[in-house]
Amino acid sequence: MKHWQLNNEANGIVVAVLDRAGESTNALSTEVMLELSQILDQLDKTPPAGLIIRSGKAAGFIAGADIGEFSQLDTPGKGLALVARGWDLFNRLAAVSYPTLALVRGHCLGGGLELALACRYLLAVDEAGTKMGLPEVMLGIFPGWGGMLRLPQRVGPAAALDLMLTGKTLDAKRARNMGLADDCVPPRVMEMAARQLLLSQQPRRALPLVQRLLNGPLKAVVANGARKQVAKKARPEHYPAPYAIIDLWQQHDGNALAAPEVVERIIQSPTAKNLLRVFHLQERLKGFGKPSDDKASDFTARHVHVIGAGVMGGDIAAWCALRGLTVTLQDQSLERMAPALKRAHALFVKRLREPLKIRAAFDRLIPDVAGDGVAHADVVIEAIFESVEAKHALFRAIEPKLKPTAVLASNTSSLRLEDLRTALARPERLVGIHFFNPVAMMPLVEVVEAEGADPTMVRAACAFVKQIDKLPLPVKSAPGFLVNAVLAPYMLAAMRAVDDGISPETVDEAMLAFGMPMGPIELVDTVGLDIALAAGQQLAGGAEAPRCLQQRVDRGQLGKKSGQGFYDWSSGQAKKAAPGSVPAGLAEKLVKPLVDRSSQLVADGVVADADLADAGVIFGTGFAPFTGGPLHLRAGRR
Ligand code: NAI
């Protein structure tokens, strides 16, 4: 066999190790599945005392199906055949006479978890990389290899649907606590624990009666609740897969083969194709941060120094500490840093949950009024006031202290790097690392290259961005880079529509129906009307500010932060009236300037090609992912 190894142990246990040839991670390709069925054939003839399935890769257990094969599902019938392959094979695995166990260490996703669910026991290894989930919905499809059948049986239908409809993952402890894993053990005892559990004859933990009822006669209760939850986030005409998951579970016990028309409709949908495209775009962005073959360009940051503990600097520092880096955070006084430290703590509590881990993250974030960290940092990020003079003074003061290899970056949104770097003795070392607000929520970071910048620094900046689990997008130095440059004419068009008498609610509804995560007027309220006005002056090519914007700014109505903008924010949420009916063609009219500008920026070379522009706009603005991006949409490839 090419991908699997079978080890027969003296105690009668067989260990099947998946180590997919020629790849660093395991995925369930046609060949891998075929070999697994051959293993089952062989074991049918001479049944073992038990079978352990594990991975031979350091990266993890199994990352899922082989996504490369999805793009070959272009003709009717192929999708159904793919579903049948996994459904039948895993049913066969679930029915074998001898005990089976999946030893799960590292990622165990999609088809990988469906395989593990088909084993009698699932033993999770408790370490940082272990995560389990069924994220198919994020690719616009469904877990058709038994996940929709077995996950509800294992953890109860509400928890299972929550996992399948959001694509979120569980670590080893949470998987055990929810009943997905039978046990969770540290790596040093996993071998022994796996063999003990396998031969224990211990029955599976039964679902409580209520859960069994909800997974049987009372399915409608859970299904209706799940449909309501999904409807809050995704419209069926944009994202059909989550609705199909609920239906397939409710009506067919998760057997997609019982509803071939649903399988074809979902797999052949433009949404599934476009979400697959978005997945590949995301991989391409990650690639910018990966080490090239040229070893000299490898860069790993250990210590980051952030200057300016305001809205951005504070959150950038917290994010880096969360991601395991040592961070020194500098501002003019400790008092100015206090709000940032408070927000950091809240972030750690939310994301890390365990007191020891929270404590450790907080220990990594070191307030540093004197700026001693500059001399030790691998990356120094400047996020002080948006003023050329202030930034010049800062650069002059810190440059002599920097390590020669340190990346010096500015988070500026609107100043030219070419103007900022004139204060430096080595101007070519300055790069832009442009985060978006809120830092913890936004996946994209623009890495800005000014004319004549040192390419080693640009590559190192991309590697750093990838290291902290953000998506680096290389862009050239130009006003607004990519993301703000495309947002400005879109927001302007939206506010012009308000000037023309269309209500903010109607404008927002038009774009929500189009598939944007937030309406453009609510977006203006969120970023602040003063910021939108300033950005507009810089990016709108001298166009006059919309009246609706200017008047509100004059009245001090600056949006969410002041409690009133286009909407009343006194309750913390935008208070919106009913949108009424949306004029035909409004969404297309509003989105056109964004698409035009994206295309122009590609032509100008600010971003390297149309695919990267689509990636940047999707991950930087939330532009409707199911469309595949603005330029893909324009090209009519939906
Ligand atoms: P902010 O006004 O919230 O924070 C700036 C902080 O820098 C203040 O705490 C101030 O005390 C500190 N500071 C000023 N001069 C300093 C110095 N010489 N040494 C140490 N600390 C100093 O500003 P914000 O919004 O965080 O913006 C910072 C930078 O990030 C700007 O360049 C801005 O263009 C950029 N940016 C802002 C975004 C936003 O949404 N606010 C988004 C992306 C980039």
Q: State the amino acid at position 574 in one-letter form.
A: A
Instruction: Please give the residue range of the domain that contains residue 381.
Output: 299-476
25 & 130 share domain: yes
What pLDDT is recorded for position 543? Answer: 84
Q: Look up the CATH number of the domain holding residue 570.
A: 1.10.1040.50
% the chain with pLDDT above 90: 93
**66 pLDDT higher than 80:** yes
In a domain, 628, yes or no: no
For atom 32 of ligand 1, which residue has the closest CA? 412
405 & 469 share domain: yes
Q: Confirm whether 215 is a catalytic residue.
A: no
Q: Find the mean pLDDT for residues 611-615.
A: 98
Among 476, 499, 519, the domain-final residue is 476
Most distant CA atoms of the chain, gap in Å: 83
470 & 496 share domain: no
170 & 49 share domain: yes
**72 pLDDT higher than 90:** no
Tell me how far apart the alpha carbons of residues 450 and 19 are, in angstroms, rounded to a whole number. 44
User: Which H or E element spans position 388?
Assistant: helix 388-398
In a domain, 352, yes or no: yes
81 & 185 share domain: yes
Determine which one of 3, 107, 303, 434 is catalytic: 434
Q: 208: burial class by Cβ within 10 Å (0-12, 13-18, 19+)?
A: exposed
Q: Find the mean pLDDT for residues 539-550.
A: 89
Q: Which pLDDT tens digit goes with each residue over 342-354?
A: 999 999 999 998 8
What pLDDT is recorded for position 638? Answer: 47
Ligand 1 atom nearest the C-alpha of 527 is 40
Average pLDDT, the chain: 96
Q: 427: burial class by Cβ within 10 Å (0-12, 13-18, 19+)?
A: middle
In a domain, 281, yes or no: no
Determine which one of 55, 269, 274, 413 is catalytic: 413
215 & 332 share domain: no
For atom 25 of ligand 1, which residue has the closest CA? 311
Q: Look up the CATH number of the domain holding residue 262.
A: 3.90.226.10
Q: Which pLDDT tens digit goes with each residue over 88-134?
A: 999 999 999 999 999 999 999 999 999 999 999 999 999 989 999 99
**549 pLDDT higher than 90:** yes
**pLDDT category of residue 267 using cuts at 50, 70 and 90:** very high
- The number of folded domains in the chain is 3
Q: Confirm whether 434 is a catalytic residue.
A: yes
Ligand 1 atom nearest the C-alpha of 435 is 43
199 & 122 share domain: yes
Determine which one of 114, 136, 382, 446 is catalytic: 446
47 & 193 share domain: yes
Higher pLDDT, 536 or 281: 281
Distance 269 CA to ligand 1 centre (A): 44
**620 pLDDT higher than 50:** yes
**550 pLDDT higher than 90:** yes
Dihedral of CA atoms 473, 476, 482, 486 in degrees, nearest 10, equals -160
Q: Confirm whether 264 is a catalytic residue.
A: no
Determine which one of 35, 484, 509, 522 is catalytic: 484
51 & 173 share domain: yes
**168 pLDDT higher than 60:** yes
Q: Which pLDDT tens digit goes with each residue over 293-336?
A: 655 558 999 999 999 999 999 999 999 999 999 999 999 999 99
**19 pLDDT higher than 50:** yes
In a domain, 623, yes or no: no
The residue assigned the tokens 């039964």 is 206
102 & 138 share domain: yes
Q: State the amino acid at position 531 in one-letter form.
A: I
The first and second tokens of residue 450, run together, are 């000014």
Q: Confirm whether 413 is a catalytic residue.
A: yes
**392 pLDDT higher than 50:** yes
Distance 573 CA to ligand 1 centre (A): 26
Q: Find the mean pLDDT for residues 43-56.
A: 98
Q: Find the mean pLDDT for residues 482-493.
A: 96
Q: Do you find a cis peptide bond into 152, omega within 30 degrees of 0?
A: no
Higher pLDDT, 47 or 537: 47
Q: Find the mean pLDDT for residues 442-462.
A: 97
Q: Look up the CATH number of the domain holding residue 320.
A: 3.40.50.720
The first and second tokens of residue 326, run together, are 């040592």
**553 pLDDT higher than 70:** yes
**393 pLDDT higher than 90:** yes
What pLDDT is recorded for position 538? Answer: 85
In a domain, 325, yes or no: yes
Residues near ligand 1 with C-beta < 6 Å?
A: 307-313, 330-332, 336, 383-386, 390, 394, 411-414, 435, 437
What pLDDT is recorded for position 75? Answer: 80
Q: Which of 254-258, 298-302, 447-451 has the lowest mean pLDDT?
A: 298-302
The first and second tokens of residue 183, run together, are 């046990």
- The full 3-state SS of 464-522, as one line of letters, equals HHHHCCCEEEEEECCCCCCHHHHHHHHHHHHHHHHHCCCCHHHHHHHHHHHCCCCCHHH
**pLDDT category of residue 338 using cuts at 50, 70 and 90:** very high
Distance 387 CA to ligand 1 centre (A): 9
In a domain, 546, yes or no: yes
In a domain, 287, yes or no: no
115 & 202 share domain: yes
What pLDDT is recorded for position 637? Answer: 55
165 & 235 share domain: yes
**pLDDT category of residue 524 using cuts at 50, 70 and 90:** very high
In a domain, 273, yes or no: no
What pLDDT is recorded for position 294? Answer: 58
DSSP at 378: S
For atom 35 of ligand 1, which residue has the closest CA? 412
Q: Which pLDDT tens digit goes with each residue over 75-96?
A: 888 899 999 999 999 999 999 9
**pLDDT category of residue 44 using cuts at 50, 70 and 90:** very high
**441 pLDDT higher than 80:** yes
